[in-house]
Amino acid sequence: MSSTAERIARTIASEINASAGQVTAAVELLDGGATVPFVARYRKEVTGGLDDTQLRTLNDRLAYLRDMESRRETILNSIKEQGKLTDALARQIAGAETKSTLEDIYLPYKPKRRTRAMIARENGLEPLLRGILEDRRADPQALAQGYVKGEVPDVKKALEGARDILAEELSENAELLGKLRQFMQDEALITARVQPGKEQEGAKFSDYFDHSEKWANIPSHRALAILRAAKEEIVTIEIAPDAEAGIPRAINMVAATIGTRGDGPGDQWLRDAAGWTWRIKLSLSMYVDLLSDLRKRAHEEAINVFARNLKDLLLAAPAGARATLGLDPGIRTGVKAAVVDATGKLLETATIYPFQPRMDVRGSEAKVLELIQRHGVDLIAIGNGTASRETERFVADTIKLLPKTVKAPTKVIVSEAGASVYSASELAAREFPDLDVSLRGAVSIARRLQDPLAELVKIEPKSIGVGQYQHDVDQRRLTQALQAVVEDAVNAVGVDLNMASAPLLAYVSGLGAQVAQAIVDHRDAHGAFAGRKALMKVPGLGAKTFEQCAGFLRIRGGDEPLDASSVHPEAYGVARKIVQACGRDIRAIMGDATALKGLRAEQFVDDKFGLPTVRDILTELEKPGRDPRPDFKTASFTDGVEEIKDLKPGMRLEGTVTNVAAFGAFVDIGVHQDGLVHISQLADRFVKDPHEVVKAGDVVTVTVTEVDIPRKRIGLTMRKDGGQQDRAAPPTRRDEPRRGPAPKGKPPRSPQKPEGPGALGAALMDAMKKGR
């Protein structure tokens, strides 16, 4: 292994709490074309049991570090070609641990446009600077007299040229830049101030009209709000140390680089030059660096929030294979209805008009009753958009009219997030070419109740809208992260090979859109796959692809019972040894934990399959094809609470968590407007991360604390005291900026308020809505 590969392996190992050997093994597998789900599930012996989270981090960091090593090599070659590479410099470059440190070292050697310092050197002013540095007792004005000639008309211009040379040298001093960057990261304040005349236009950002807090501590959601406000030219941003104490410290650090402790004329001139260099050059470069770092940090945190929410949504409990009536609510345009059978196949569609202006209640009731009885509907999925509660009430009244001999279906409010995107997509057009766009939405709503994962994979992850400020973050990185989440979710659950759509199959390990479509085409042409091995007949699916995908595909009721499990075909031999040891038929053993009780995993370890794989096989034989998703349950909305005006503080309601952000959780309580449970209201203890308490899809009980009808804001709490203690004395939050007098020369900062419905809620809710 090369020294570069060893260095990368050691770095990643320290970050994911693994050994360098584990990292090296995983890198070899990934470089060889293996996917993260495959390595995590079927190569535990090789990697020492690295899980999918560790492997995702490894994969991301591997790309970054390889890019950095490539840059390191480029810099070394560039300096070598200039004939300036020394052993000490080479060691310094080799020891750089970040891209920014590398670039700091390279600055003096980086080809650049003609600068003021270059012009000063051309005018022969570098000896003047050296003279000032070497003899601090000499008067710089007197020294400069000897350099007044040609392009240097006077003493002032001579000293300015010398200062330009010094400023460039200080701005390219890697050690100084490193110290200043660390100082700024520790001490800098980020300050936002409203631009004159923008108060009304930017009212939703009013919390940031006069705001200041530590750069190091600002949470992602506040950083993103300020960045958006700046982008919309509502506020200006400053990132700088405290004016009273911080800036003098920064200038002293610059001055210390050239040593200015004396009191001679030269020392005084150099101190002034150091202050000028900080103000004109270094403070600006530090601002740019810290703003870039802040943006990256905030983007990464926002992307992580989106990814966690998406994972929770994808792995939400499926209602299962039950005939379902999907209703996409509408008032003037009618309620769109679609019935799908237990497999998700579309059976019938209709449009009913139970509301104004038509008010055809009887005709609508008759149609719904007809659909329920004709198709044996077991579930009714109602979209949570406009008119959802009216539609739910209509359905509840209609169900009461069913004959007593007919089992009443269960009605469930379902998130419509992304349904309209799917309806208008090319995929939906191919799936239902003769169906109206609006009716396709009803089909999607029905299917996402049966199996959220299978339906949501048809929608671009970004369009599902469970993130914060998702349109502001790095879109390439967001797409990459969300695709990884979908891939992990699909492979964690497994896919029924004979029922899965091409979009679902495309996320299976080793498959892509092209091979997935080839599988569906082969299935349509030749019928259901009898076994996993039959996949090898699909055009374009070779041995390597089969190895990667086979374990994640399920065939139920086929010739090979193990094809219905997550046991990989390569390990069927081990599974058969286990079955043989039980002395019973494999079909009798699968699913019977008692039949496997007396067996020890160690008995079946061989040269190829170690203890982790054998244990996985035993677990799978106990519960073949187990679904990691939770059992299905739904929230029951309170009768009579259908609009925001029906809410009153103190009401206890049941709802479904629709989105989790860094500042709290949004909950659908059935009034067409999600309420916000601020992070301080999620539990009777301090909560650092809302995901510790809730996830998207959770059914929770909340108490209404605040209702602001004009601004459509609903404050909720999950605390046992119903938020009573908070109303008496709001708690101090750890993420609040420091309070007290403002730095000298600046207006006082307003104290930070919780980003709930009463404060930053407008900007945050606006961002969440746009995200959806």
700-718 pLDDT, tens digit per residue, is 999 999 999 888 899 999 9
- Pairing assessment for the beta strands 713-717 and 675-678 based on DSSP bridges: parallel
CA distance 646 to 447: 31
365: phi then psi, degrees, rounded to nearest 5? -60, -45
Nearest in space to 323 (alpha carbons), one of 377, 364, 287, 259 = 377
Residue 755 binned pLDDT confidence (cut-offs 50, 70, 90):
very low
pLDDT (0 to 100) of residue 33: 93
| Cβ–Cβ < 8 Å for 771, 475 | no
Q: Tell the burial category of 596 from Cβ atoms under 10 Å away from its Cβ (0-12, 13-18, 19+).
A: middle
- Rounded to 5°, angle at Cα 100 from 96 and 104: 80
**In the chain, % of residues over pLDDT 70:** 93
Dihedral (CA of 28, 31, 32, 36) sign? positive
Rounded Cα–Cα distance for residues 517 and 617 (Å): 30
The single-letter DSSP state of residue 485 is H
Q: Which helix (H) or strand (E) holds 704?
A: strand 699-708
d(CA 2, CA 12): 16
Residues in the chain: 772
Q: Is the pLDDT of residue 762 over 60?
A: no
Mean pLDDT score, 346-367: 94
For 67-126, write each residue's pLDDT tens digit: 999 999 999 999 999 999 999 999 999 989 888 899 999 999 988 888 999 999 999 999
| HSE toward the beta carbon, residue 504, CA cutoff 13 A | 22
The arithmetic mean of pLDDT across residues 60-65, rounded, is: 91
**Residue 572: band (very low, low, confident or very high) from pLDDT cuts 50, 70, 90:** very high
Share of the chain above pLDDT 90, in %: 63
How far is 497 from 501, CA to CA, in rounded Å?
Answer: 9
Residue 106 CA to residue 173 CA, distance in Å, equals 10
CA separation for the pair 89, 76 (Å, rounded): 9
86, two tokens:
């020394």
Residue 110 to residue 104: CA distance in whole angstroms: 10
Q: CA angle, corner 632, sides to 626 and 634, nearest 5?
A: 165
Assign 324 to helix, strand or coil: strand
Q: Is the pLDDT of residue 738 over 70?
A: no
Query: How many CB atoms sit inside 10 A of residue 714's CB?
Result: 27
**In whole numbers, what is the pLDDT of the chain averaged over residues?**
88
188 or 475: whose pLDDT is higher? 188
Residue among 156, 98, 83, 94 at smallest CA distance from 125: 156
Residue 208 and residue 225: Cα distance in Å, rounded? 9
Rounded CA separation 741/682 (Å): 32
Pair 690, 665: CB distance under 8 Å: yes
**C-alpha to C-alpha distance for 79 and 478, rounded to whole angstroms:** 36
- Can you give 137-197 as a three-state secondary structure string? CCCHHHHHHCCCECCECCHHHHHHHHHHHHHHHHHCCHHHHHHHHHHHHHHCEEEEEECCC
Residue 133's nearest CA partner among 175, 167, 166 is 166
Average the pLDDT over 132-160 and give the result: 94
Stretch among 10-24, 110-124, 430-444, 733-747 having the lowest mean pLDDT: 733-747
The pLDDT value given to residue 725: 61
Q: Which helix (H) or strand (E) holds 766?
A: helix 761-771
* Pairing relationship of beta strands 675-678 and 335-340 according to DSSP bridges: unpaired
Listed in sequence order, the residues at least 6 apart from 749 whose beta carbon sits closer than 8 Å to its beta carbon are 191, 210, 211, 212, 213, 737, 739, 742
- For residue 717, report the phi and psi dihedrals to the nearest 5 degrees: -135, 150
pLDDT tens column, 158-199: 999 999 999 999 999 999 999 999 999 999 999 999 999 999
Domains and CATH numbers, the chain: 3-109 (1.10.10.650), 127-307 (1.10.3500.10), 328-445 (3.30.420.140), 644-735 (2.40.50.140)
Across the strands, what pairs with 213? 190
pLDDT of 433 higher than 70? yes
Average pLDDT over residues 221-247: 93
Count the neighbouring beta carbons within 10 Å of the beta carbon of residue 30: 17
> What tokens does 583 get?
């002395």
Which has the closest alpha carbon to 440: 320, 326, 323, 321? 326
Q: Rounded to whole angstroms, how far apart are CA atoms 658 and 98?
A: 38
The pLDDT value recorded for residue 641 is: 86
Angle at 265 between CA 261 and CA 268, to 5 degrees: 50
Q: Which of 95-109, 266-280, 438-452, 756-770 comes out lowest in average pLDDT?
A: 756-770
What does the buried/exposed string (b/e) look like for 155-167 if buried means 16 or more CB atoms within 10 Å of the residue's CB?
bebbbbbbbbbbb
**Is the link from the previous residue into 357 a cis peptide, with omega within 30 of 0?**
yes
